[in-house]
Copies of this chain bind each other. A is one copy, B any other.
Amino acid sequence: MLQSKLFTKVERKFPKDEEAPNARLLERGGFVYKNSAGVYSYLPLGWRVIKKISEIIREEMDAIGGQEVLMSALHDKRYLKATNRWDVDVVFKVISGGEKEPSFNISWTHEEVIAEIARKYVNSYRDLPFAAYQIQTKFRHEPRAKSGLLRGREFLMKDLYSFHADEKDMYDYYGKVADAYRKVFERCGLKTYYTLAAGGDFTISNTHEFQVAAEVGEDTIFACDSCLYAENKEVSKLSAKGGDTNIKCPKCGAKVSEKKSIEVGNIFPLGTRYAEAFDLTFLDKEGNKKFVVMGSYGIGVSRLMAAAVEVYHDENGIAWPETIAPFKVHLLALGNVSAKDLYNDLQKRNVEVLYDDRNVSPGEKLVEADMIGLPFRAVVSEKTDEKVEVKRRTEDKVKLMNKNEFMKLMSND
């Protein structure tokens, strides 16, 4: 893409009303626009990141048999009434013209809706198991919407729901989802801790979260860097040890440390709670009517983008992991030269390139390139002669390459 055509710009200063690094960097770089506290629009660069994360998630969900759907966002009140969640604090309710009382809410989660849909199609044990997922906007009234895109009132989530004949089958799948989630986060460049946690409004069972260590995190975990197991402080028995700095990991025995962290995913064994509320039953092999056992599994898509920014930035801007970067390389033409041929060559080879063809100073281009944070920066100037000066965003050293070398690096890396 030509940067001269991109309608957003890198701002000269950080926004005044944001404290969290993710929001400061994403807004200044033109990745997102803040519409209200906790409500953001994704601009072209940010939307490219979201699409890359979404595609990674889709591939891993498809690989474990997830079937993609898109459920409604307007939910009749019968759904949440059935599970006593209509008056949960975070629910946004909807009224229209003539109404005095709301008859809908907007989606904060979809256990109820998918349970009702499943009821239409599940009759026998032969119809089980299956799993359905979607990537969709969720709405939650956070009284203190803060931390930028980490805790929004409107955010993008991948939610997967699975349906089983018994607990054992559900827990087998639960393990597969945990493995798929590890792959998703690894592919997005994030190190996550598999964390024992409570169930919140969703279930009475213990659940698991995937936590990314970060200073700005709102959770506290006891995390083992040896086996990546952790326990959320809220439920951990390790928490009883208080100031003890020699806590041992219950899984591997290595030393555990206390960290602030960001929850990027969670997996919930739901039991039969939602099946009971929606009369979601099946006939087993012996002809007995039983309730379906469900699991639900979330990944915060926009939160994942924000978590990546929290982990991968320095004083000059973002440093995107290559798999989720909006483009692979930032091509800068400094001074009175053009990199148009190089740009065309890169495009021909399907290398995702942002070409800064604008008529602005070299200093401005270099500063903005660091702020946007693509994995590679390639400079062409009067000084580079026929060569290209290539630098990784995360390294200081630059390398002068001839065009063939550069093309090879871009095509193969």
Interface residues in chain A, defined as those with a beta carbon under 8 Å from any beta carbon in chain B: 5-9, 30, 33, 35-36, 39-44, 47, 50, 65, 67-76, 89, 91-97, 102, 104, 106, 113, 116-118, 120-121, 127, 130, 132, 137, 139, 141, 143, 153-154, 156, 163
Contact = CB atoms under 8 A, between A and B. Distances in A.
Given A67-B6, A70-B50, A127-B7, A117 B33 contact: yes
Nearest to A76: B36
Given A42-B70, A68-B47, A35 B102 contact: no
A121 B36 contact: no
Contacts of A127: 7
Contact of A93 (B76, B94, B137): B94
A47 B70 contact: yes
Given A42-B71, A44-B132, A74-B153, 15 more contacts: A5-B130, A6-B67, A9-B121, A35-B76, A35-B116, A41-B72, A41-B117, A42-B70, A44-B68, A70-B156, A73-B106, A92-B96, A92-B104, A93-B95, A94-B106
Contacts of A36: 72, 74, 76, 104
Contacts of A33: 117, 120
Oligomeric state, in copies: 2
Nearest to A89: B97
Contact of A117 (B43, B73, B93): B43
Contacts of A43: 69, 117
Contacts of A39: 72, 74, 76
A18 to B, nearest CB: 14
Nearest to A120: B33
A132 B45 CA distance: 12
Nearest to A41: B71
Task: Name the 7 nearest CB pairs between A and B, nearest first.
Answer: A96-B141, A7-B130, A41-B71, A42-B70, A44-B67, A35-B72, A36-B76
A104 B116 CA distance: 29
Contacts of A132: 7, 44
